[in-house]
Amino acid sequence: MARMPPPASSLLWRSLRAYQIYGANTDVGKTIITTILCKAAHKLWPGERTAYLKPVSTGPADAADDRCRHIRRFAPDIATKTLFQYDLASIPPDETILAEISRYAAHQAHYGPGWLFVETAGGVHSPSPAGSTQADLYMSLRLPVILVGDSKLGGISQTVSAFESLKIRGYDVETVLLFREATYGNHSYLADYFGQRHDIPVRTVPEPPKLLEDAVSDAAALSRYYDDCSGSAEVQETLSHLDARHEDRISRLESMSAAASEKIWYPFTQQKHLTPEKIVIIDSARGDYFQTFNSQGTATSDAASSNALLQSSFDGSASWWTQGLGHGNPSLTLAAAYAAGRYGHVMFAEAIHEPALAVAETLLAGLKNPRLKRVFFSDNGSTAVEVAVKMALRASRLRYGWGPGDALGVLGLQGSYHGDTIGAMDCSEPSVYNEKVEWYEGKGFWLEYPTVEYSQGVWTVKIPDGMRDLHAGPSNVAYPHLSSIFDVESRESRGEGRFYEHFIRTTLERFAVQGRKFGALIIEPVVLGAGGMLLVDPLFQRTLVKIVRQSAHVFGNTAPGTNSVADDRTWTGLPVIFDEVFTGLYRLGRFSAASFLGVEPEISVHAKVLTGGLVPLSVTAASESIFQAFASDDKSDALLHGHSYTAHPVGCQVALESLKEMQKMEARGDWDWARTAYQRAETESYQDLSAPDHTREGLAWSVWSPELVSWVGGLPTRFVGGVWALGTVLAIRLISSDGSTGYKGSAARAVHAALLQGRVNADSDRSSEPQWNVHSRVLGNTLYLMAGQKTTQETVKGVENLLREVLENTSNRT
């Protein structure tokens, strides 16, 4: 199958000190200063190769190579190259420019020790041929920067602003160089400014000689100038500094995993077996990819080593399910920085600020749930769930008149997981996640439920063992495609939910007999995440909510008739909490996962993608009737919960930016490529299977292609148990050869390892081309991959191809 071009990696080789030259403005002397650096590098390291690269020349075609000619003339020992001319008929896309730079730099690195100076065009934000600005275009290369300051009138401002534009994109500006100019003396202000605030050295070179009319004299003067400058102490100090910084960067990368394995206590990790070499060193991240340190690249610490030290690694867990709008997204960065500049953090109790109010409004409007009226902010999914449960329990206790001594539980699904704090843990049944936690005490009852999977050509709703004795039909029900399973209204009208109703009612009636007390129904709508990426039959969850709402007689001693409260404002039976921390906000393709079920909770919990994947923030949205349960003349009846950074402006501003951007993407149809692929596949499937004609198409779609799902689901059943894809999530249940299951299942490990290895069939010329791999997380025997909302079809295709290779190989070995 066709291989996709790997994404552009950040550039780092031990052998090559590569620096990028940015200008604080156009016409500040970038080329002159670069020429000086080239000459000086050659003087100081005469045995090494020094190269100059101009990726895109902004001059007219006939002058395109001017800069290279200039350098060749005055620094004849330097290798020079211009990659693209700006006025070429065909405008090179950004990816092509990056790929060519990578290729050229790799080529230089291969020669052994040397220097590479890459000169940008114009100022930091001058547009590239395709329109993005220099600073955005080159971000992912993460070349350390030499900023050429502006010595002219106004140049202080230009230099500081240029620096800030680079800094907020994660560039490391290693030094500032500018002309020593007497009238304005910018260098002296800048030396203090950058020295004191950023510990960045500012050094100068004399201004170049005035242009002489006689070309020969002019060239001679310039030649003398270059000779003098390249031998000056300041320039030599600059190069020594850059040389040392290069060494420092690599040594730090080399030592980080050892330091981390000594000083970090990792979350959810058995560190006894976490040897340093297993720790992934993330140098930076951009879009869908980490840039990770390739420790094999440093197998030799030979200064001549030309192994690429950084590689692109697809963030296959979407950074623990948080990632939405891509790593290093400049819009989110600016939103965060704006709020930091405008507010810092301001205390929230009895106060309001614009980002908090705006995000609350946007979220309530976006959820389209008429019950939800209020937003409570906290810091993560776990705290937001605790808030939700505190809300629901209080409302139930007051409604049903329970006393402080009455033990209240939650009603939930088996294998649910709602977070790591004790209160959130207590909402789940005992499992590997919590049963060894000393203060864990599961409070509630957790039902079995049917799951959905694709395997061998059919989508199946699998009825669990415990439900079967109530079930007359077959234990597995087949559907032509996922959308037909998600067409819950049609299925309900066809009576498919009646068995679920019966099962749920029977279960609930038992509680009434046992006298058990419940204060909330809490479920993760559609998908149980940490529980193993289980896709639950949406009709079951829908039915569960409905029956619970009809069952006030089971849950409390209300007078007859109060069961009949059935408007969409007041809760009945139990307050319903949807934990959409993982499943909401477009993770499954829709703003709210509740919309898949067609029922509306009283309390909705959101986090993770809420900030587009940048900083922690969570919300618990609630109905007015839940809110009113806390109203009283006694202050201590209030919801006494509130972390110090509640509704921190940075998080709120980023969330606002993220939600609006994702809503725009939906409105613009940015995911139509994925949606239509599924609709097409569904239409085709009608021809194969006689699907009921009232099934609506396109209810369920994924960025992971229907072809992939079909292919994976067709792998031998001894290897793949089932697969599903929805929204940005792909989950593959593998079969463990040793029979291990659950959290300790081992089947996915081989696939995980092969994805991390990257391409499985190494070509002989592999070392010269950029490598990439896929960083994934497994949940027992389930391997999942998760894209962001900005992940392109091309990227998905590339990952799918690698995944196919890996599964094919692994499957054959099994």
| Span 390-429, contacts to its own copies by CB under 8 A | 390, 393-394, 397, 404, 408, 419-424, 426
CB of 330 to its own copies, least distance (A): 7
Is the Cβ–Cβ distance between 606 and 617 less than 8 Å? no
User: Is residue 248 within the footprint of its own copies (CB under 8 A)?
Assistant: no
Nearer to its own copies among residue 75 and residue 367 (C-beta): 367
Binding segment for its own copies (CB under 8 A), chosen from 20-28, 34-42, 44-52, 563-571, is 20-28
User: Is residue 139 within the footprint of its own copies (CB under 8 A)?
Assistant: yes
Over the Cα atoms of the chain, what is R_g? Answer: 31
What are residue 206's DSSP bridge partners? 180
Element holding 535 (H helix, E strand)? strand 534-535
User: Is residue 471 within the footprint of its own copies (CB under 8 A)?
Assistant: no
Binding segment for its own copies (CB under 8 A), chosen from 353-361, 472-480, 506-514, 694-702, is 353-361
Is the Cβ–Cβ distance between 606 and 581 less than 8 Å? yes
Give the residue, chosen from 61, 130, 157, 707, that forms a contact with its own copies under the rule CB under 8 A.
157
Give the residue, chosen from 433, 449, 503, 704, that forms a contact with its own copies under the rule CB under 8 A.
433
User: Is residue 252 within the footprint of its own copies (CB under 8 A)?
Assistant: yes
CB of 585 to its own copies, least distance (A): 13
Among residue numbers 205 through 234, which ones bind its own copies (CB under 8 A)? none
CA dihedral 34, 40, 45, 47 (to 10 degrees): 80
Two tokens at 683? 């239409």
What are residue 127's DSSP bridge partners? 133
Size of site (CB under 8 A) for its own copies: 166
Pick the closest to residue 279 from 288, 268, 266 (CA basis).
266
Alpha carbon distance, N-terminus to C-terminus of the chain: 22
Nearer to its own copies among residue 631 and residue 667 (C-beta): 631
User: Is residue 639 within the footprint of its own copies (CB under 8 A)?
Assistant: yes
The single residue listed with the structure tokens 């001059």 is 59
CB of 229 to its own copies, least distance (A): 24
Nearer to its own copies among residue 416 and residue 455 (C-beta): 416
Among residue numbers 356 through 375, which ones bind its own copies (CB under 8 A)? 356-357, 360-361, 364, 373-375
Among residue numbers 43 through 102, which ones bind its own copies (CB under 8 A)? none
User: Is residue 751 within the footprint of its own copies (CB under 8 A)?
Assistant: no
Residue spans of alpha helices (H) in 45-172: 66-74, 94-110, 134-137, 155-167
Two tokens at 425? 């843990």
Binding segment for its own copies (CB under 8 A), chosen from 231-239, 274-282, 456-464, 562-570, is 274-282
Tell me the CB-side half-sphere exposure of residue 302, using CA atoms within 13 A. 11
Nearer to its own copies among residue 620 and residue 705 (C-beta): 620
Tell me the CB-side half-sphere exposure of residue 540, using CA atoms within 13 A. 23
Binding segment for its own copies (CB under 8 A), chosen from 175-183, 454-462, 638-646, 720-728, is 638-646
Among residue numbers 275 through 294, which ones bind its own copies (CB under 8 A)? 278-285, 290
Among residue numbers 303 through 342, which ones bind its own copies (CB under 8 A)? 315, 317, 319-323, 326-334, 336-342
Give the residue, chosen from 130, 470, 512, 638, that forms a contact with its own copies under the rule CB under 8 A.
638
How remote is the C-alpha of 763 from its chain's centroid? 30
User: Is residue 715 within the footprint of its own copies (CB under 8 A)?
Assistant: no
Nearer to its own copies among residue 597 and residue 783 (C-beta): 783
Give the integer Cα–Cα distance in Å for 691 and 306: 58
**Under DSSP, is residue 500 helix (H, G, I), strand (E, B) or coil?**
helix
The site string for its own copies over 179-198 (x = CB under 8 A, - otherwise) reads: ----------x-------x-
CB of 397 to its own copies, least distance (A): 6
CB of 536 to its own copies, least distance (A): 21
The single residue listed with the structure tokens 């039959």 is 537
CB of 104 to its own copies, least distance (A): 24
Give the residue, chosen from 45, 343, 686, 711, that forms a contact with its own copies under the rule CB under 8 A.
343
User: Is residue 162 within the footprint of its own copies (CB under 8 A)?
Assistant: yes
Among residue numbers 782 through 801, which ones bind its own copies (CB under 8 A)? none
Give the residue, chosen from 188, 223, 269, 676, that forms a contact with its own copies under the rule CB under 8 A.
269
Give the residue, chosen from 103, 167, 245, 505, that forms a contact with its own copies under the rule CB under 8 A.
167
Give the integer Cα–Cα distance in Å for 366 and 586: 11
User: Is residue 554 within the footprint of its own copies (CB under 8 A)?
Assistant: no
Q: In what order do the strands lie in the sheet with 310-315?
A: 289-293, 310-315, 772-775
Give the residue, chosen from 7, 92, 114, 122, that forms a contact with its own copies under the rule CB under 8 A.
122
Nearer to its own copies among residue 435 and residue 568 (C-beta): 435
Residues 6+ apart with CB under 8 A from 433: 417, 425, 530, 743
Two tokens at 19? 């620096």
Give the residue, chosen from 44, 274, 665, 735, that forms a contact with its own copies under the rule CB under 8 A.
274
Give the integer Cα–Cα distance in Å for 392 and 555: 13
Among residue numbers 587 through 616, which ones bind its own copies (CB under 8 A)? 607-608, 613-616
DSSP code at position 481: S
Among residue numbers 476 through 535, which ones bind its own copies (CB under 8 A)? 519
Give the residue, chosen from 245, 516, 641, 804, that forms a contact with its own copies under the rule CB under 8 A.
641
810: number of Cβ within 10 Å: 20
Is the Cβ–Cβ distance between 234 and 205 less than 8 Å? yes
Give the integer Cα–Cα distance in Å for 464 and 286: 42
Going from the C-alpha of 799 to that of each of 325, 574, 716, 726, 732, the distances in angstroms are 18, 44, 21, 16, 14
Is the Cβ–Cβ distance between 616 and 379 less than 8 Å? yes
